[in-house]
Amino acid sequence: MDGWLAEIAAANALPDLDEVERKLLGKTGTVTELVKGVAALPREQRPEAGRSANQTKVAVQAAVDARREELESAALAADLGATDFDPTSPGLEAAPGSSAARDVRQPVKLPTGTLHPITIVRDELIDLFTSMGFSWQDGPEIESDWFNFEALNIPGDHPARDSQDTFWLDDGNLLRTHTSPVQIRTMKRFAPPLKVIVPGRCFRQESVDASHEHTFYQMEGLVVDKGVSTANLIHTMKTCLREILRRDVEVRLRPGFFPFVEPGFELDVNCPFCGGDGCSVCKHSGWIEILPCGMVHPNVLRAGGIDPEEYTGFAFGMGLQRVVMLRYGIDDIRLFMGGDLRFLRQFGEIAR
Ligand code: DAH
């Protein structure tokens, strides 16, 4: 048997090994004949001889298999060494108009996606507010009438409902028209002091134009504690806008009506485009309306299970698209959902 094993080890190429295997283990191979020969032996010798012949066959087959594996991996290594093919290098790019990727031996950076501008600004706002001690709450996009309207001090016959054209669902629920219902959900779930932001998607049955979308993003803010005042609101908003618009901002409050706040305000910033001198963007007023806000209405605190005699709060509702438009100088809200990759790709390149 040692001779056979030596023969196997001496096979230096796959065809040689095939030949040795055929000679030893083929139909009329030496080892095969040895096994067959057992049958011709006297009966009493057969068990012993049979066992030994089988062991030999198994050992020879194992030696052939092991040698084949060695030869195959040596052949693969030789193949790889003979070319400059590097299986770990990034893919090749076809020349424009060519179907042959191999023609252009230019390693390329594989294309990666970019974050959507709304996501970029939303994430920055989340970072900013969490650094100011706010936590981040989420709520359902399908809401009940109670959370979306009633609990926010907007009863069934209230004219404010008309300003929020609602997508109603067959079961009487609705697609939330703003992120404000999460104010109530938060108050019901946690005890004050509360400091939360709620970024989220909202829906209104709007006809779409350069500044209106049926699907849009807001970021609600809510602070409830003992002794919270308008001064806290102004300070928080100023800090936030300074960071997000990346400049020192002036803010001003104008009275604004929202049933869930009292008093309610429209908060303006000095125009980022002309710095307040007056231009077409700010309609020559020097100010741009940026977000509505106010002191939480006592009825809303009550609906959330909080005693308005003990606690006060402020809230704000930021239109994320609006902030993004001001930040990047975008003049048409439809670009955000339009799916034009040329528009979206730019945000991968803009230094953040
Ligand atoms: N929810 C209002 C809307 O979508 C925006 C708003 C106004 C939110 C005033 C507030 C607020 O939290 O205080 O029209």
Is 140 part of a structural domain of the chain? yes
Residue 98 pLDDT level (bands cut at 50, 70, 90): low
CB of 165 within 8 A of CB of 228? no
Interhelix angle 30-37/14-25, rounded to 10 degrees, is 20
Instruction: Report how far residue 272's alpha carbon sits from residue 327's, in angstroms, rounded to the nearest whole number.
Output: 8
Is 320 part of a structural domain of the chain? yes
pLDDT of residue 224: 98
Residue whose CA lies nearest to ligand 1 atom number 13: 293
51-55, 90-94, 193-197, 231-235: range with lowest mean pLDDT? 90-94
Of 245, 227, 231, the residue nearest 318 (C-alpha)? 245
Say yes or no: 145 and 37 in one domain. Answer: no
Residue whose CA lies nearest to ligand 1 atom number 14: 178
Q: Residue 100: pLDDT above 60?
A: no
200 lines ligand 1 (CB under 6 A): no
Residue whose CA lies nearest to ligand 1 atom number 4: 178
Count CB-CB contacts under 10 A for residue 285.
14
Say yes or no: 60 and 136 in one domain. Answer: no
Of 205, 144, 211, 204, the residue nearest 178 (C-alpha)? 204
Predicted confidence (pLDDT) per residue in 225-250, tens digit: 999 999 999 999 988 888 887 778 88
CB of 117 within 8 A of CB of 244? no
Predicted confidence (pLDDT) per residue in 2-41, tens digit: 888 899 999 999 999 999 999 999 998 898 998 888 888 8
Say yes or no: 122 and 74 in one domain. Answer: no
Q: Residue 351: pLDDT above 50?
A: no
Where is the domain boundary, 56, 81, 106? 81
Instruction: Report how far residue 165's alpha carbon sits from residue 160's, in angstroms, rounded to the nearest whole number.
Output: 10
258 lines ligand 1 (CB under 6 A): yes
pLDDT of residue 161: 79
Alpha carbon 188 to chain centroid distance? Answer: 29
Is 86 part of a structural domain of the chain? no
Mean pLDDT of 295-314: 98
- Supply angle C-alpha 264, 270, 116, rounded to 5: 85
148 lines ligand 1 (CB under 6 A): no
Given the CA of residue 178, which atom of ligand 1 is nearest to it? 4
CB of 311 within 8 A of CB of 225? yes
Instruction: Report how far residue 253's alpha carbon sits from residue 273's, in angstroms, rounded to the nearest whole number.
Output: 20
* Residue 281: domain span: 117-351
Mean pLDDT of 213-226: 95
Is 89 part of a structural domain of the chain? no
292 lines ligand 1 (CB under 6 A): yes
Q: Residue 184: pLDDT above 60?
A: yes
Q: How many independent structural domains does the chain possess?
A: 2
Say yes or no: 237 and 175 in one domain. Answer: yes
pLDDT of residue 282: 82
Predicted confidence (pLDDT) per residue in 40-67, tens digit: 889 898 899 889 989 999 999 999 999 9
Spatial CB neighbours of 20, under 8 Å, sequence gap ≥ 6: 7, 8, 11, 64
Write down the pTM of the prediction.
0.69
Say yes or no: 61 and 198 in one domain. Answer: no
Q: Residue 266: pLDDT above 60?
A: yes
CA of 209 to the centre of ligand 1 (A): 21
Q: Which of 57-71, 159-173, 264-278 has the highest mean pLDDT?
A: 57-71
Residue whose CA lies nearest to ligand 1 atom number 6: 317
Q: Residue 352: pLDDT above 90?
A: no
Residue found under tokens 């807001």: 218
Residue 92 pLDDT level (bands cut at 50, 70, 90): low
What CATH number does the domain containing 333 carry? Answer: 3.30.930.10
Q: What is the mean pLDDT of the chain?
A: 88
DSSP letter assigned to residue 75: H
